[in-house]
Structure 1
Amino acid sequence: MKKAMLTLSVAGALMFSVVPAASAVGNGPGYGGNETINTSILTTYEEMADFLQKQDAKQAHMELEVIGQSVKGRDLYLAKYISDPDNPTILFLTQQHGNEQLTTEGALEFIKHLGTSKTKGILDNVNVLIVPMLNPDGAMGDVNFSLDDYIAKGDRHLTRYNANEEDLNRDHVAKTQPEIQALHTNVLGAFDIDYMIDLHHQGAWSERDGELVSGSILYPTTPNVDPDVLLGSKQLGSVVFNAVDSTGWGHLGKYGGGDAETISRNGLAVEYGISTLLFEMRGMSDHYYEPYVLGQKSNGYLIKQTVTTLDAAVRAISDGSIEQADVSFWDTLAVQQWRDTE
C-alpha cells in the first residue's frame, strides 16, 4: 500500500498527495510492533494555525474565528463558510481526542478543497463549520500527566485526554473543561446547526463480515432524541456510507456505542436538535495499547476517507438529496466485531 506523501513548506502550508489502496483499506498494515510510528509526519498545532490563517487570507468564502482557548492557552479555531444564514448548516468536529489526528489532517485538506473550483456553487446552498482541532494540548502532548508508556516516536506524543486528563467527549453535560465550554458557547449556541459529523478514531482490529473495517458509523442512540432528528442522522449516515463503502477501498461497520448523553453524538442531538453522526476511523496515531495504533503507511487512505466523507455530506445537503437518502441499510448493517489478534 502506498502511503500519503505529506509535505510542509517553510511557510507551513499543507500539501497532500493521497493515494488510496486498490483493495479495501481495512487490509492496510497495523502496528504490531513492526513499524516505527513517527509523529514528525503529523501536522503540529502551530503548523495548523499557520495554514488556517493563510487559507483565511486566500479564500473569499472562508472566515476564521477563535472560539476560545485550551487549558494551556492555545487558541481554538473555527473555519466558517456562511453564504446565507438561512441555509442548512453542518458542523464537522475533529480531534476531541488528541491522539486521533488523521481526521484533522483530512479536515485541513477539505478546507483547502473548499477554496478550489471543485466546489464551485456548492457553498451557495449550505453553510459549513469546521472545528479542526478541539484538543490541541492533547494533540501536542502538552499535558499535566505522564505519557512515558506511549508508543509513537518523534517530536511529541499524542493523548486522548486534554491537559487536565479529562475526556472531552464525556463532558458534554457537565461542561467543566474550557475546550467544551468554548464549543458549546461559541459554536453550538451561536449557530443554528442542522447536521454534525463527529470524527474520531477507533482501534485497528475491528471487522465487519470477516473483513477489517476502514471505520464505523452510528447515529444517536439515546431514547431522548427527537424522531425527526434521528431520521436526519440516519440520512446523513446513508450519504456517508454510500460515498465511502462504494469506493472499493472503504469498508464500514456499525459502531457499537451506548446511549450516554455526555458524549456529543447523543448529547448534542438532544440539547440542540442537531442530527449527528459519529464516524470512527480505523486506528490511532498514538496510544499505550498496541492494538489501537495503526501503521502510518495507512495514513493516506484515512485522510482520503475523511475528505470523501466531508465532501459527500456537503454536496448532499447543498442539493437537497440528503432528504431522500435511503436509511434502510441501517437495518442490515452489521455491528463491527473485534478480531482476535492473538
Structure 2
Amino acid sequence: MRCGAVERGLGRTAVGSLLAQRNRAADLVVQSYSGADSCVMAKSTRIALLSVAVAVISVLGFVAPSQAAPPGRIDPRPSTAELARKLDELQRRSHGAIEVSAIGKSNQGRPVWSARVGDGPLRVLYVTQQHGDEPLGTVAALEFLREAGVGQSRYQRWLRSQVTVDIVVRANPDGHELNWRYNYAPDAAPEYGEAGKGYDINRYHDPAVAPENNPATEAGLIQRHYAEFQPQIVVDYHMQGRYVDGGGREITASLMWPTNRGVTPSNLELAKQVSVVAQRSMTEGGANVSQYPGGDYQGIARNAYGLRGSVLIELSDMGSQHEQAQIDSALRSMSAIARSAADGSLRMINPAEADAIPPRGEPVPQAAAAGTHSD
C-alpha cells in the first residue's frame, strides 16, 4: 500500500452484473489465447506488437467492458475529501492491484493523488482536472480504476500484466474546492492565470523549467511525477465550451495531439494513433468528436510531454443532463487506449487517420455568451 494516509470511508457499490458478464466473455477469449506473446515497450516508445492471436482479442471486441455505461448515477463533483474516500475504497477492494499515493500537496495543503493500476512494461499516464472547474475526467478515472483494478477476471489480470496505468486524479484540488480554473496563489501576478486567484497550471509544464523552480505548485508536482514514472503515453483530460460541427450537430468532445515543432516524428505518430483510438471509442458510444484548435506553446501539457506523445481530450460542458454520458465517453477513451496499447492494436493504426477527424466548428450561440474553456 503506497498511501497510508488516505481517509477510509464508504464509496460506490460494485460494478453491475452487465459489466461482470462482459468480463466473463473477455475471460473466454483471453483463456483461448493464453499462450500468446507479451507486449514489450522499449524506452524509445516503440511498442512491439503482440502475436496475431492476442490481437484477435481486440478485433473480436470481447474485452471492452466500458461499452456498458457505469451502473447508476455517478456524482460528477465529489469533494476532495470524498475523492480520498473513494480512492481508499478502490485500493482496499482491489487487494493490491491499485496503489494510491500522494505526489505532493497543493498550495492550500490538499493532497494531489496518484492512483496506479497494473505492473506491465508499457506505461500510460492520465491527468485529470488541471483546471478546477473541469471535473468530469476525474470521476471517469475512478470508474476506469474500478473497471481495471477491482476484480480478478482473466481480462483484468491480462490487462494489468501488459500495462501500468498511472492517473493523477484531480491535479488541482484547490481549484475544485474554489470552483475556478486556477490553482490557489492569490499573491501571484501570473503570466498565465488571474491576479488575486492563481496560476493556470496547464501553462506551466515547460520542460525547460525544473519542477522545484515552477511557480505553479501543482504543475511542478506533475512534472516531477512524469519524470519518475517515465510514461510512453500521456493523456490530459479537460472540458471545453459548447460547439457545433460543420453540419450544425453539437460537438461532444474535441482532441488534439502535440503541435509544437520540437515534437519528434515518432512521438507525433504515437500521439495521433492514441487520438484515433480515443475518437473511435467515444464515437462508438454516440459521441461527436472533433479536432481541438490548440496552440503550440510548449508550456501546455499536450505539447510539453509530447516533446518527449501527449494527447489532449476536451469533454464539452453540455449541462447537467449530459454529464453522465460525458463521463461514460471519457471512460470509453481511457479503457480503449489502455487496451489497444496492451494488445498491440494501437501501433496498427494509420496515424494519418487523425488528420481526417473533422475540425471543431462555431460556438453554440447561447453558450458563446457565457464564455468558453480552453486547454
TM-score range, shorter chain: 0.7 to 0.9
1:99 Cα offset (Å): 0.4
Q: Which residue of 2 aligns with 1:239?
A: 277
The corresponding residue for 1:222 is 260
Q: Does 1:56 align with 2:91?
A: yes
The SS at the match of 2:112 is strand
> Superposition pairs for residues 296-315 of structure 1, below 5 Å?
296-315=320-339
- Do the aligned partners of residues 208 and 264 (structure 1) sit closer, same or farther apart at CA in structure 2, a change above 3 Å counting? farther
Aligned pair partner of 1:46 in 76, 81, 92:
81
Confirm or deny: 8 A CA contact 1:70 1:178 kept in the other structure.
yes
Tell me the amino acid that sits aligned with residue 230 of structure 1.
L
Q: Does 1:170 align with 2:203?
A: yes
1:161 and 2:182 aligned:
yes
Query: Do residues 211 (structure 1) and 246 (structure 2) align?
Result: no
Q: Check if 1:319 corresponds to 2:343.
A: yes
Instruction: Give, in whole Å, the separation in 1 of the partners of 2:250 and 2:100.
Output: 38
Deviation at 1:332, TM superposition (A): 2.5
Amino acid at match of 1:263: I
Q: 1:137 aligns with which of 174, 177, 199?
A: 174
**CA distance, structure 2, for counterparts of residue 168 and residue 313 of structure 1:** 25
Per-residue displacement from partner, 1:143-165 (whole Å, max 9, x unpaired)? xxxxxxxxxxxxxxx11111122
Name the SS of the counterpart of 2:199 in structure 1.
coil
1:198 is paired with a residue whose SS is strand
Q: Which amino acid aligns with 1:172?
A: H
Q: C-alpha separation between the residues in 2 aligned to 1:208 and 1:110?
A: 32
2:228 pairs with one of 175, 190, 194: 190
Q: Deviation per CA, 1:121-177: give whole Å up to 9, x if none.
A: 111111100111000000011xxxxxxxxxxxxxxxx11111122100011124212
Measured in 2, the distance between the counterparts of 1:12 and 1:209 equals 46
Distance 1:17 1:330, change over 3 A: same
Equivalent residue number for residue 256 of structure 1: 293
Supply the distance in 2 between the matched residues of 1:91 and 1:308 (Cα, whole angstroms): 16
Q: Contact 1:209–1:334 at 8 Å: present in 2 too? A: no
- The answer to whether the aligner puts 1:78 opposite 2:114 as a matched pair is yes
Tell me the CA shift for residue 335 of structure 1.
Answer: 1.2
Measured against aligned partners, the alpha-carbon deviations of 1:193-242 in whole angstroms (never above 9, x if no partner) come to 10011000000234354211110010000010010000000010111111
Structure 2 distance, partners of 1:317, 1:110, is: 15
CA contact (8 A) 1:208 1:253 kept: no
Q: Distance in 2 between matches of 1:208 and 1:66?
A: 44
Secondary structure in 2 aligned to 1:269?
Answer: coil
Residue identity in the other structure for 1:181: G
| Larger-Rg structure | 2
> Aligned residue for 1:295?
319
CA offsets, 1:70-129, max 9 Å, x none? 010001110112424xx1110000000000001111111111111133634111111100
For structure 2, list consecutive stretches of 5 or more residues without a partner in the other structure.
Answer: 1-7, 17-74, 186-197, 367-375
- Name the aligned partner's letter for residue 43 of structure 1: P
Normalised to the residue count of structure 1, the TM-score between the two structures is 0.77
Identity of aligned residues (%): 26
Letter in 1 for 2:112: L
Structure with the largest fraction of helix: 2
What is the CA–CA distance in structure 2 between the aligned matches of 1:112 and 1:188, rounded to whole Å? 23
Local SS of the residue matching 1:234: helix
**Higher relative CO (CA 8 A, sep ≥ 6), structure 1 or 2?**
1
Deviation at 1:295, TM superposition (A): 1.8
Question: 2: distance between equivalents of 1:106 and 1:226?
Answer: 30
Matches of 2:156 and 2:311, distance apart in 1? 23
- Tell me which amino acid in the other structure corresponds to 2:305: L
> Once the 2 structures are TM-superposed, how far is the Cα of residue 329 of structure 1 from its aligned partner?
2.3
Paired residues of 1:16 and 1:109 also in contact (CA < 8 A): no
Unaligned runs of 5+ in 1: 1-9, 19-39, 142-157, 284-293
Aligned to 1:267: 304
Corresponding residue for 1:281?
A: 315
